[in-house]
Amino acid sequence: MNLRFLGLALLLNAASPVLLPATAPAAYAQQKQNITLEDIWQKGTFSAKSVPGFNWMKDGRYYSSLKQGNLVQHDVTTGQPVQTLVAGTDLKLPGQEKALPVDGYSFNADETKILFSTATEPIYRRSSKSYFFVYDRAGKQLVPLSQGEGKQLYATFSPDGKRVAFVRDNNLFATDLATMRETAVTTDGALNKIINGGTDWVYEEEFEFAQGFQWSPDSRQVAFYRFDESAVPEYNMQEWGPLYPQDYRFKYPKAGEKNSTVGVSVYDVAGGQTMKMDVGPVADQYIPRILWTQTPNLLSIRRMNRLQNQLEILHADARTGQATVVLTDRDPAYVEVNDDLRYLAGGKQFLFTSEKDGYRHLYLYDMNGKLVRQLTKGNWEIASIEGFNEPKGEVYFTSTEESPLQRHLYRINLKGKGKTRLGEAGGGVDAVNLSPDTKYYLNYHSSAGDPTVVSLRDGQSGKLVKVLEDNAALRQKMAQYNLSKLEFINFKTADGVDLNASVIKPTNFDPAKKYPVLMYVYGGPGSQTVKDDVGGGIALTNYLWHQLLAEKGYIIVSVDNRGTGARGSAFKKSTYANLGKLETQDQAAAARYFATLPYVDKSRIGIWGWSFGGYMTALALTKNADVFKMGISVAPVTNWRYYDSVYTERFLKTPQENPGGYDENSPVQFADQLKGKLLLVHGTGDDNVHFQNSIAFVDAMVRANKDFQTLYYPNRNHGIYGGNTRLHLYRQMTNFVLDNL
């Protein structure tokens, strides 16, 4: 339940003010401007430049991108266009005068054919459907991928480029590109019943993938998921607008309710046969990943029990379906799923990350699951695996070794030796896009208050090749505005908990005065709001809004409580089975700490958050009501029984096993303790944290005769955006802060 929003494509950035030299005459000093809500949400005043549409090509020397309907090849070392690979004027269907308005593309392995998509519609967070077309570069021919009715999902070339697999109407298909003959791999797909080749809602949201099929490396087979969600309860969401509102029904397993029964099968392309893989006798379990190994006919399947405290790696024979458990990873709390599993060429070893020594580190195993060696170790953790240089046996990864607030790129060999930090020394956060051959990587570097610099670097040395975008114009723009420095502090609470925090003080801060404090919280498991970077999306726009409030005389504070990430397993999992308890205790303790500072008005401390942060805000104003004067709770969970099975049970077990963990930290249970001013915000079209949560909380507060304000947005999803929506929302939030804090 991380705060990521469909359709949010705002590329905003912010920087610290560039001060005039102390010797500059006062007459030349420009009056600094104040940020407005329109600057953030309407005018694009702080839009940053990047390297848009970047897609590595096979040789690692070039990348491609769509520009004004043309597919253009660029030299990666200069960023300059080299040639037009496909002119938009060539993307015409027979008998059509206008070119196809394409919105996405992918190459086959030898880059002779291209899949173009058009009329793409988002479904949920990671899923979308489109019309796909196959373009042959040599013959300049464009043909529809399918003659069937309706849009397609997840269209993917086979590794040999001879076929494309896709999903339509919950069934899996494969098209032979030589004949354009379409074969139905499955035929039993049905809405809200059977899904083939895709995932159900909860897998897409919580296991973070939507495409449910994979081609084998030799292109002879397709492994695919089958979800039977017939027994999963439906959630009914009304769509407002027509004279009679319409119902939107979809399968959503709430905590403790029935999940889909999930199977994995392999389709043999030549023979047309399907073999079901043996994933064990237990139906109530998860299969959060499948992955072909480097060994022919050997499929890797990850299996997890419903409590998610045991993850097993199975190796299955695609010809017989027989599977063997080769590795088991257990944890007293929970095991997290990621994409760090990597099978090495030669079919003898694989890489895997685990938190079994208290921090997420990298391990090398043989194919029988016997540990060869632990490659990384220390009181820091790997953030993600970025790539692998097969000939040299080197793994690239980003980690928190320098600081939990930072991320940097490292390389290490398979002997666990030669660990090297790549790039330049210093703080900040490096986000990396490594070429497939690891010769180059794009580095997106930012630090607190400083816009992103996009550079091309050498994949072996980390040395700078070329700065592709430095956002100098944005820095000059930001120099014209009243911005305060984002500071980082570390402090201990009264009960000895060590916490990291960020602070934005008013522009003309005077330590002799007293200021109100607004705390911004997310606080969910493994999350982080206190990082040495600019951030993107909602994190960035919140940073700018916080600067706006600082201009108006507020101190803005964010604190990473127990349960948040980058500080090891014990810190993160200390909240297990009591989600919300320690987190809100830490937020209240942080408020009390700031209340002791001489420049803080302890009677004027507020808190706000979105999603998990909305939940934290609602709980803080009830269970810690004496600490906070006001709060804004956006799209909150108010009763953990209302949220989905995978996320909630990972951290709380099932409500049948742990009813106290649910009820003792759900705001609906404590509505009678509400104090201070509360603004409750929700979108009625939220498919993730259902509007039901706010309805139940409002009902509980009315029963308790408590005063509050509500703001709901018709048909908006969890991101609450579209048109003037964000501008309107933040105007209401700004006014609420000014009126009540």
Q: What is the pLDDT of residues 250-262, one digit of tens each?
A: 999 999 999 999 9
**Residue 142, beta-bridge partner list:** 135
pLDDT single digits (tens) 457-498: 999 999 999 999 999 999 899 889 999 999 999 999 998 999
pLDDT single digits (tens) 199-220: 999 999 999 999 999 999 999 9
Beta strand 371-374 with 361-366: parallel, antiparallel or unpaired? Answer: antiparallel
Going from the C-alpha of 272 to that of each of 268, 269, 480, the distances in angstroms are 5, 5, 66
pLDDT-based confidence at residue 408 (cuts at 50, 70, 90): very high
CB 678 within 8 A of CB 621: yes
Domain annotation covers residue 333: no
Domain annotation covers residue 587: yes
**Region 24-50: what's the mean pLDDT?**
79
Domain annotation covers residue 127: no
pLDDT-based confidence at residue 30 (cuts at 50, 70, 90): low
Domain annotation covers residue 577: yes
Looking at residue 313, what is its pLDDT? 98
Half-sphere exposure of 541 (CA within 13 A, CB side): 25
Domain assignment of residue 710, given as a range: 484-740
Mean pLDDT, the chain, integer: 93
How many other C-beta atoms are found inside a 10 Å radius of the C-beta of residue 461? 11
**Region 323-338: what's the mean pLDDT?**
98
Name the more confident of 23 and 65: 65
Provide the token pair at 22.
């102390």
Give the CATH number, domain containing residue 626: 3.40.50.1820
Looking at residue 49, what is its pLDDT? 87
Residue 15 above 50 pLDDT?
Answer: no
Domain total of the chain = 1
How far is 732 from 682, CA to CA, in rounded Å?
13
Residue 3 above 60 pLDDT?
Answer: no
State percent of the chain over pLDDT 70: 96
How far is 115 from 153, CA to CA, in rounded Å?
12
**Cα dihedral sign, 376-60-472-35:** negative
Domain annotation covers residue 194: no
Looking at residue 120, what is its pLDDT? 97
How far is 307 from 356, CA to CA, in rounded Å?
17
State percent of the chain over pLDDT 90: 89
Domain annotation covers residue 429: no
Report which secondary-structure segment, H or E, holds 131: strand 128-136
**Region 549-553: what's the mean pLDDT?**
97
Using a 10 angstrom Cβ sphere, with 0-12 exposed, 13-18 middle and 19 or more buried, the burial of residue 182 is middle
Domain annotation covers residue 366: no
pLDDT single digits (tens) 165-194: 999 999 999 999 999 999 999 999 999 999
pLDDT-based confidence at residue 1 (cuts at 50, 70, 90): low
pLDDT single digits (tens) 702-718: 999 999 999 999 999 99
pLDDT single digits (tens) 92-103: 988 888 999 999
Looking at residue 95, what is its pLDDT? 84
Matching residue, tokens 């354009």: 180
**Region 233-248: what's the mean pLDDT?**
94
How far is 621 from 625, CA to CA, in rounded Å?
4
Residue 686 above 70 pLDDT?
Answer: yes
Looking at residue 624, what is its pLDDT? 87
Q: Worst-scoring range by mean pLDDT, 11-25, 45-59, 510-524?
A: 11-25
CB 549 within 8 A of CB 506: no
Domain annotation covers residue 604: yes
Beta strand 420-421 with 600-610: parallel, antiparallel or unpaired? Answer: unpaired
